[in-house]
Every structure is written in structure tokens, then in C-alpha cells.
Amino acid sequence: MSATVPHHRPPHSLPPAQPPSGGLLRAVHVGLALVVTGYALQFAAALNVRAHAVDWGPGGIGATTASQADVDAFNHAQRYADLTSLLTGVVYVLAAVLFLVWFGSARSAAGRMEPLVFTRGRGWAIGVWFIPFANLALPRRVASEIWNAARSPASESRWPDTGDAIVREWWVLFLVMTLAGNAVGRISNSLTNPGELSLNAVLYALVALTTAGAALRTHRFTTRLTEMLRLKAYAPLSAA
């Protein structure tokens, strides 16, 4: 597939469309690394809660037949899990903000390169993420349009398969992470007995794994798309 590339420019001239800066991309990657680290800790914390779950019977924890040491170990594991959950939540919000800034920058650059590719204005690159239900589909469409606008002979030469498989993989993991996290969050509010709490810990561990996986795919997606935008903006005219 051939794509439009900018005309050749003098070596030191600036392109009409500036791709996301290296500093912004590095900031996104740092945020994603913190997300992976945080959710790895949350995964371990969830399994630790499950390992120390005690059977306190129908009378509540005050009527448990477990030893005080076991009860203390469970309480300590739960406090650690609560702390890691709080910290990962803060880190996730930070990474999400950085990602949205990058996403908006990528959309802006791609829109100047190939304005006819897009079906919505630049503001939708950010706005679609905050529309209930629509945010389960529209961001994927915007990402695909940015990806298609960034394609060029230079990127196709470097990566023979420049289809949007990377976009699909990233979005599928994001959806799984989002839906699983929401479901487990709702379920956990109604759990009380040790068996249910033990299952809840396992579910949270799985959500942590899914979130870490989504962060890793986001790293790949942001890296490749930024490189494609840079190639299209800076590479000299090449044959299709």
C-alpha cells in the first residue's frame, strides 16, 4: 500500500507536522513502567492475601478459631494490599494523563499530514475517552485513523507489515483490562466470608496481570506509532 509522503526538505528545516517529542514519549514510557511495577506488586499482594486468608466462621473475625498470629498476618497482608492498590491507582492516573497528552499530540501531527483520513476533529482524540460506552469503541477508531495517516513508504520499508495489528492487540488488552477491572471492583463490594475474599484476591491478581500486559502493549503501540510519524515527517521522498 502506498501512502503520501512530504516533499523533500532541506536537512535543517522543520516539518509542517511535528510528531510527539522524544521527551513526551519517554515520559509515557516511564509512566507505563511504573504501572507495570505497581501492578506486579499488586499481583504479589493479592496472592499474599489469599495465602493468609483465615476462616473466622459465622461469628465474624472476633469469633475466629484461628490463632492471633494468623489473624495478624491476614490483617497485615490486607493492609499491604490496600496500600499497593492506592499507589497503583495514583500511578495509573499519572500514566493515563501522559498517554492522553501523547495521543492528542499524535493526532494533531497525523491530522496535518493526512487531514482527509480523519472522520472527526482533533478534540475528539481526547474527548472520546470520556464518553460512557462510546469509549469502548471510538478511541480504537481514532487510533486506527492516526495509524493509517502515519503510514508511508518509509515505514512500510522498515516494517513490511504496517497493518494495524499492533493497534488491535493494544485495544483488545485495554478492553479486557477495563471490563475485568470494573467487574471485579463491583464483585468485591459484596464479598464478606474468607472463601469469597480468597477468590477475590485471585481475581485481583488476574486483573493486575492483565493491566501489566496492557501497559506493555501500550509501550509498543506508542513507540511504533511515534516512529512512523517521525519517518513520515522527516524522511526524504522515497519511492512507493
Cα separation, 22 vs 25, whole angstroms: 5
The predicted structure's pLDDT at residue 202: 83
Closest CA to 114 of 151, 152, 149: 149
165, amino acid identity: A
Closest residue by Cα to residue 211 from 32, 48, 49: 32
Range 117-124 contact pairs with CB under 8 angstroms and sequence separation of 24 or more: 117/145, 117/148, 117/149, 118/142, 118/145, 118/149, 119/145
- Please tell me what DSSP assigns to residue 18: P
Low-confidence ranges of the chain (pLDDT < 50): 1-14, 59-60, 237-240
The confidence score (pLDDT) of residue 73 equals: 85
pTM of the entire predicted model = 0.83
pLDDT value of position 53 = 73
Provide the b/e sequence for 19-45 (b: ≥16 CB within 10 Å).
Answer: bbeeebbebbbebbebbbebbbbbbeb
Average pLDDT, the chain: 84
**How many Å separate Cα 125 from the centre of its chain?**
16
d(CA 102, CA 80): 33
So what's the pLDDT on residue 133? 92
Residue by residue, DSSP assigns 19-53 as PPPHHHHHHHHHHHHHHHHHHHHHHHHHHHHHHT-
Residues 6+ apart with CB under 8 A from 191: 197, 199, 200
Residue range 126-184, pLDDT digits in tens: 999 999 999 999 999 999 999 999 999 888 888 877 678 899 999 999 999 999 988 88
Answer whether 190's CB lies under 8 Å from 184's CB.
no
Q: What pLDDT score does 12 carry?
A: 43
Q: How far apart are CA 42 and CA 81, in angstroms?
A: 6
